[in-house]
Structures are given as C-alpha cells and as structure tokens.
A and B are shown apart, each in its own frame.
Chain A
Amino acid sequence: MSTSLGRRRLLALSPLLVAGGAGIGFWRMLHGMSGGSFDPHDVDAPVLNKPVPSFDLPAQAPGRGFSAAELSGLRAPVLVNFFASWCVPCVVEMPALLALPSMLGRPLPVWGIAYKDRTEDASGFLQRSGNPYTRIAADCDGRTAIDWGVSGVPESFLIRPGGIVAWHTAGPLSSGMVTEELGPALRRIGA
C-alpha cells in the first residue's frame, strides 16, 4: 500500500512539474522578448555570428565610406547602423545613438550606412538630427543591405574585432536596449 501511495504521490506531482517546466520556458521567452534576444515571430538574421559580407561602399557626406575589409581589420568593436532620411524610426533612434558613449560608459564608434537614400537628403538629415557616425557610407541601390539581411531601416549590427557580427537588432535602438542588450553583448565579446 505504501508503494502504491508513493506512486500516486509521484503521479499527482507530475502535472505540477510539467506546468513548472512550461512556466520556466515562458519566463525565459518573456525575458528574451523584453531583451530583444528572443522573438518567436522574427526571421533570423542570417549574418549573426558570421563574418560581415563583403562590400565596398562610397562615401556619404559628411563622412568617409568603408568596406568589409576595413571592418574586419578593426581592433575594437564597432556598431554598424543602417539608416535613411525617409524613415521615421531612424529619427526616433538618433538621440540614443548620439548618447551611446554616455549610456555605455565607454566609447563605441558607430559607422552608418545610408540605405536607399539620396545623398543630399541623407546629409541634410544628419545636419538636422545630429551626426553620431564616425564613418558614413552610401548604399544607394540597397544591395549591401540585402547581403546583410536587413529587413528594414533602422537596423544595427555590433561587429566584434575580426569582423564577426556579434549582435543584431531590427528596429530603433532605445536607451533600455542599449543598457540591457548592447552593453552585455559588448561585455560578452570581452571588449
């Protein structure tokens, strides 16, 4: 009888264990969703943890253009940000990009790529909203963006030394995302 009672106890405990397991899973999903690392509806960024696709883009005023080789040759991490003057969320994102060093407590150069934009529009946009970029390239036909798997602007990619994409987000950067995700991602790559 005692073994049968023991078995019944185990059986009666199993729903709780299943629910608990599901609960932990849901908690991790929510955690990942609020941090941006988990999105059950997102399409994977094809370049994550891979070397940056090769490209060589011309300059966009008021900056200098750059190429994949230059990104790979860097000794420090850099944030590559796709933007466009016609994109409202890019306007929204600008303050966060400008305040990036103060929020992170360390410098992080931001290299911009103007996506499918007219050069005069893009430079006018940067004059009005402020220019957070160290270097700016123009991707007029959007081919580079396709190679990077950009699904819309803005999108940001954290490039670790050696030119590997370490972190990615689609959509505008916010201060919360900078402190909760970008910061930890930077620490993870040990830079």
Chain B
Amino acid sequence: MLSAILSPELGRFALALSCCLASMQFALPLLGAARRRPGLMRSASGFAAAQLLALVVAFACLVVAAATDDFSVANVAENSAVLKPMLYKITGVWGNHEGSTLLWCLILAACGGAVAAFGRGLPDALRARVIAVLGGTAAGFELFCLFTSDPFDRAWPAPPDGQGMNPLLQDPGLAFHPPILYAGYVGFAVPFAFAVAALLEGRVDAAWGRWVRPWTVAAWSFLSAGIALGSWWSYYVLGWGGYWFWDPVENASLLPWLCGTALLHSAIVVEKREALKIWTVLLAIATFSLSLSGTFLVRSGILNSVHSFANDPARGVFILMLLALVIGGSLALFAWRAPVLAAGGLFAPFSREGSLVLNNVLLCSVAAVVLTGTMYPPFMSLLRGQAISVGAPFFNETAVPLAVPLLAAMAAGPLLPWKRARMRPLLRRLRVPGALAAAVLALGAWGLQGVMPVLAAALGVWVICGAVADIAGRVGWRRDPRTLPRRLRLLPRAALGAALAHAGAGVSVLGLAGMSQASHRIVEARPGDSITVGGDRWVLRGVADVAGPNYDARVATLDVYRGHRLVAVLHPSRRHFPAQDQTTGEVAIHTNLISDLYAVLGDEHPERGTVVLRLHRNPLAPWIWLGALLMALGGALSLSDRRIRVGAPTPARSRSRELRTPALEAAAAE
C-alpha cells in the first residue's frame, strides 16, 4: 500500500523537483538581496522548506523500496536481500554510494530548512543569502545524484533476491555512523554559507560571529561523534585491535574536524572582540571545502581504503566540477572581497584572544601535516610516477608533537581574561592541575613504557583538571556549598559545555595513553590450552557451529581468569555469509571501562585440531570514545545556552527545540 504510493518513480520525480526548487532557492533570494526586494528575500524560507519536503519524500521512497524488498530497483537489488534483518534493510539504504548521496542531499536540505526555521532573528538579507548559498550547493549535489548516481534506477528483469550488502557493514554501530558523520560534514555548509553571505554583504561583525557559532558547534558535535563512532567501528569490527589507522578515509574526516575545531574557537574571537574576522571567514570556507574534497577523493577512488565504496573516476569528474564551482567560487569571492573587510580589534598576545590564536595556529598546523601526508602519495605518483605510501609513523611523528603544546595550552586558555592577561593569577589557578599532572608524570615515568604515553597521561590529567579548575573558579567553589547546585545551574551553559568538551579531550588522551600499553598475542591453540596475556590467563574451552539469520558461524569459547577468579567468558567467531561467499571475523570484547579484553578467532587447522587466536588486553580503550562522546555532549550543552542562540531574541519556549540539529530533523522527518 505504502509502496504503491511511494514508488521509485515518485522518488525520482521528487528528487528532480527538489533540484529545481534548490535552483530557485539559490537564484531568487540572491536576486532579492541584491535588489532589496523583501518579497524575493522572504521566498528563501519557502523554497528551503519545499526542497526539504521533496527530498524527504524521495528518501522515503528509497527506504520503502528497500524495506519492501523491491528488487526491481537496481540499488536495492545490489545492496539488499530478503534474508537481511529489517534494521539493516533500512540502514542499508545509506550503506552504498547512491543512497548515501541521497542522504547527503537530504541533510543539506535539512540544513537549509533549519536556517529557515531557526534563523528568524537574522536580518532578512543575510538570511536570504545564507539560504540561497545552501540552495545552490544542494542543487549541485542533487544534479550529481540524478545524473551520475541515481538511486532509483530500475533493473530489468527484477531478480527474485538481491545480492545482499557487504557483511562488514551489517553492524549496528556502522548503521548509524553515516547519518551522524554526514550531519557533521554537511553541517559545516551552514558556516560556509554564512561566510559567503558575509563576503557578499562585505560585512563581518560580532553579530555574525554569534550567529555562526551555534551552527559550527552543532556540525562539530556531529562530526566528533561520527568520527568516534567510525573509530569504534574499526576497533570492534575490523578486529585489528587498533582504533585509528591514519587511513586516508579517516584522515579525510579528521581534516574538517581539525579545521572546524579551529573555526569554533576563532568564531568566539569574532563574537567577543571583532578580531580575526577575515581568518574566520576563510576557516569557514576551508572547513566545508575539506568536507567536500574528502568525500570527493574517497568516492572518486583517488584515495582508497577499507572503508570506501566502489569508486568510479567518471563520477569523480562530476564531483570535481562541482567542487570547482563551490570551492573555487567561494575562494574567488574571498580573494575579491576579503581585502576590503574592515580590520578588527586589538589585543595583547598574552590574553584569551592570544590563546585562541595559538589554538588556531596549532590546529591548522596539525591539519597541514595531516593533509600533506594524505595527499603526498597520489601527487608523487602523478608528478614523479613513484609508488610510495605514507603510514602511521609519519603522522605519529608530526601530528603528535604539535598536539602536545595544543593540549598544554588547552587547560590555560579558558582561564585567561580577554584583552590582556597576567601570569600570576593564571599560575595560582593552575596550581592544582599542575601538581596533579606532575604527580602523574612522576608515576607514569615509573610505571609506563615510552616517553609519549607518560606525557599523554600527564597532559590528559592536566586538561581535565584545567577544565574542572575553570568551572570551579567560575562557580566560586569556596563559597557556600549549599547554594552550589544553584550557582552551577546559573553558570552560562556555553562555559559548561566548553569545559565538558575540553575534559572530554583529556579523557580521550588518557585513553590513548592507556592504549599505548596494550598487549597482545597470536597463538595457535587446542581446546583446553591456556594462554597468558598481560597477566590474564585465557583458556580455550572449545569451538562450535552456530547458525545465524543469513550466515553460519564458528564460535570459540574462551574463559579468562585473573588469578583464580573467572572474569569473563568471550565468544569470538567467524561468520560465513553464503550470499556473498564472504567470511567476517566477529570480535569478542569484554569491558569493565578500565580495560578491554579483546579476542579474535583466526584460521582453523582441522588436521591439527587447532585454531589461531589473537588475544588483546587494551587498557583504558573505552575512554577514547567516551572522551569523544563527552566532547559531542559538551557541544550539545553549549548549544542549549540562550546567549549563543541563533537570532538572539527568541522566545523561551523554543529552548528545547534549539537542540534539534539538522540530522535530528532529518531523522524526525523520516
């Protein structure tokens, strides 16, 4: 019934319609803003809403086709199967190139809709231009979707069953990874649109900074959560025991995050001090450009990795032209208009502004080395024809030393006053964090192996304590403890959010320090054998056959003893998916939040009656993602601050709605 209405043809029509609407959303409001026609300017919101609605319909059509096993749709036939669990039929919609492009467009449209809905306080012309820029970008991507990656293509004759999706992707963590990650990538379109609109208007002021910030925070929170989810996925699905491989695709997501983090901080300076204006505009353009280029590089196959979809250079040419228009156009506009923007306010180097500049310089330096390392191999191969690769050691040796001063400054920055700071009060407030960090440094030097892990542990503690000291100072912890909860509540949410995000970064760093002490062993074992890893005794009890919904599995049973106490029973397995004739390893993980026990089942040697096992003990591993989650939560918390709300004088009842960010909108719309 539903599938009769929401047919693939309706979907394609809705997609084409949304493309037309997006073109109008681009052209008319821009014209209106240039000619000062209020009617045309106000049409922006209408177009944005209509475009979003059309894309919701298009997306719903694809979801319905996938959920009802309509294998006459080529995309569904290639990526779904009757036996696939319903959750993955739906999430599988964005598990492939075509569907994920549609999702990308949907989120972009949702951004436009969100600006239309929450941007009522913006000046008409600025709002019209922002929505218009978002519309133009969306139109480009919808054209791309229609012409090079149509998700609604029919297959004839329709096969009775689909080919199923890559079993690696059949995983709850990955199912929700793309929407969150894309909400991050695409969310940076809004600051980008604000930057382009500001260049068109020729004016950047404190109000602009205040409007840009919440959108940046929202996108940044999603991107942080998305990257963490991706890293977590590679930890527990790929089964290599690592969490970050400096894979080109991972780098492609890290680059906009680094740039976006810098943008987040420089926008504060614009808002509070009207300084760093041109730089902030450039950062906003660069962040979105990096989001777009990362996607382009991965989809076109120039960068290749375990995560990438099937790639296609012809598709790449289309995206490259699109990028040339969006990035080239905005940078040309920047080159033309930025020099005439008025210069900003003055500040001393040792001040809050100074610390934010330091943050920007270091973050951009990290971004620069990551970019260099990622792009060096393809460019070398192009220019010199030399086959080289740049691996994890390069990134560890360049990005990590730059991150050390960044973390060191991170605790101090928020404690500095604006304009001009003095050393003595700062040192007084950093006494406790400094003492604790020094204690950890001493303890670590005695108990941990390697210089970097010790330093990382100390820096993690330093950053967390710095964040606590910041909040303690603001709330006045020496005063009456009975009113403390009330004082905490009265604290600006933005400050609490920032402190939480900083503490989250500290927690992640502690996790990294812990993971550097991980131990693992690869053994060939018989049932009954016992293996010692990192002080624990693992006993292989046996290996058995288990049937799953669309796979057969071999499951090993491992008992883990610490001393004589049984701490965990783990079941690592290997699943064979007959539909794809593909085998995946299922990692077994037992965590107590302090350390992970991690087991992978390798090959079986029936002739010897043995199995190969890889057993890991990963101290503090969950903290890496816990910290990232805290960062994202910090972002969400600061979004709930009334003061950084979009269009300052909004009624109080919309407070809860502010937390709804583009992807939530998209999710609700589905």
Give chain A interface residues in 25-74, CB to chain B under 8 Å: 25-30, 32-34, 38, 40-44
Name the residue of chain A whose CB is nearest to the CB of B301: A33
Contacts of B303 in A (CB 8 A): 40
Task: Determine the residue in chain B with the shortest Cβ distance to A39.
Answer: B381
Q: Which residues of A contact B363 (CB under 8 A)?
A: none
Instruction: Check A15 for interface membership: any CB of B closer than 8 A.
Output: yes
Q: Are B382 and A13 in contact (CB under 8 A)?
A: no
Q: Contact between A23 and B328 (Cβ–Cβ < 8 Å)?
A: yes
Set of chain B residues within 8 Å of A30, measured between Cβ atoms? 300, 302, 313, 316-317, 320
Residues of B within 8 A of A26 (CB): 296-297, 300, 302, 316, 320
Q: How far is the CA of A33 from the CA of B382 in the complex (A)?
A: 10
In the bound complex, residues from chain A placing their C-beta under 8 Å from that of B286 are 15
Bound-state Cα–Cα, A190 to B387, Å: 29
B387 touches which of A5, A11, A19, A43 (Cβ 8 Å): A43
CB contacts under 8 Å to A, within B283-326, are 285-286, 289, 293, 296-297, 300-304, 313-314, 316-317, 320, 323-324
Residues of the A chain whose Cβ atoms lie less than 8 Å from the Cβ of B328: 16, 19-20, 23
Interface residues on B, range: 35 or more
The reply on B377 being an interface residue by CB < 8 A is yes
| Minimum Cβ distance to chain B for residue A27 (Å) | 6
Give the contact stretch, choosing among B190-198, B330-338, B501-509, B639-647. Answer: B330-338
How far, in whole Å, are A169 and B439 apart by their CA atoms in the complex? Answer: 61
Decide if A25 touches B382 in the complex (CB within 8 Å). yes
Is the Cβ of A34 less than 8 Å from the Cβ of B314? yes
Min CB distance, A25 to chain B, in Å?
A: 6
- Are A12 and B338 touching (Cβ within 8 A)? yes
B240 close to A (CB within 8 Å): no
Contact A12 B323 (CB under 8 A): no
- Are B382 and A16 closer than 8 Å at their CB atoms? no
In the docked arrangement, what's the CA distance between A130 and B149, Å? 36
The complex places the Cα of A170 from the Cα of B304 at a distance, in Å, of 18
B378 within 8 A of A: yes
The reply to whether the CB of B278 lies closer than 8 angstroms to some CB of chain A is yes
Using Cβ atoms and an 8 Å threshold, which residues of chain B touch A28?
382
Contact between B382 and A38, CB atoms less than 8 A apart: yes
A41 — nearest CB in chain B belongs to which residue?
B304
Chain A residues near B316 (CB-CB < 8 A)? 26, 30, 33
Give the residue of A5, A19, A38 whose beta carbon is less than 8 angstroms from that of B331. A19
Residue ID in chain B nearest A32 by CB atoms: B382
Asked whether any CB of chain A lies closer than 8 Å to the CB of B110, the reply is no
Tell whether A23 pairs with B324 under 8 Å between CB atoms, given A34-B314, A40-B302, A44-B387: yes
Is A8 at the interface (CB under 8 A from chain B)? yes
User: What residue in chain A is nearest B380 (Cβ atoms)?
Assistant: A40
Residues of B within 8 A of A8 (CB): 338-339
- What distance in Å separates the Cβ of B251 from its nearest Cβ neighbour in chain A? 14
Q: Are B302 and A33 in contact, with the CB atoms below 8 A?
A: yes
Chain A residue with minimal CB distance to B332? A16
Cβ of A187 < 8 Å from any Cβ of B? Answer: no
Question: Which residues in B have their C-beta under 8 angstroms from that of A15?
Answer: 282, 285-286, 331, 334-335
B375's nearest neighbour on chain A, judged by CB, is: A22
B447 within 8 Å of A (CB atoms) = no
Report yes or no: B327 in contact with A19, Cβ–Cβ below 8 A. yes
Shortest CB–CB separation between residue A50 and chain B, in angstroms? 14
Q: Which residues of A sit under 8 angstroms from B293, Cβ to Cβ? A: 22
Of A27, A34, A38, which one neighbours B381 at CB under 8 angstroms?
A38
**Bound Cα distance from A28 to B378, whole angstroms:** 11
* In the complex, B485 has a CB within 8 A of chain A: no
Contacts of A103-149 to chain B: CB distance below 8 A: none
A1 to chain B, nearest CB (A): 12
Q: When the two chains form the complex, which single residue of B296, B317, B331, B381 contacts A40, counting CB atoms closer than 8 Å?
A: B381
Contact, CB under 8 Å: A19 / B302:
no
Check if B331 sits within 8 Å of A29, measured CB to CB: no
Chain A residues with Cβ under 8 A from B301's Cβ?
33
Contact A44/B302 with A15-B286, A25-B379 known, Cβ cut-off 8 Å: no
The answer to whether A29 and B302 touch across the interface, beta carbons within 8 angstroms, is yes
Given contacts A27-B320, A34-B317, 20 further A-B contacts (CB under 8 A): A5-B339, A9-B335, A12-B335, A12-B336, A12-B338, A15-B286, A15-B331, A16-B328, A19-B328, A22-B293, A23-B320, A23-B328, A26-B300, A26-B302, A26-B320, A29-B382, A30-B313, A30-B316, A33-B300, A38-B382
20 examples of A-B residue contacts, CB within 8 angstroms:
A9-B335, A12-B334, A15-B286, A15-B334, A16-B328, A16-B331, A16-B334, A22-B375, A23-B323, A23-B324, A26-B320, A30-B316, A30-B320, A33-B313, A34-B314, A38-B382, A40-B382, A42-B387, A43-B387, A44-B385
- Interface, chain A (partner B; CB < 8 A): 5, 8-9, 11-13, 15-16, 19-20, 22-23, 25-30, 32-34, 38, 40-44
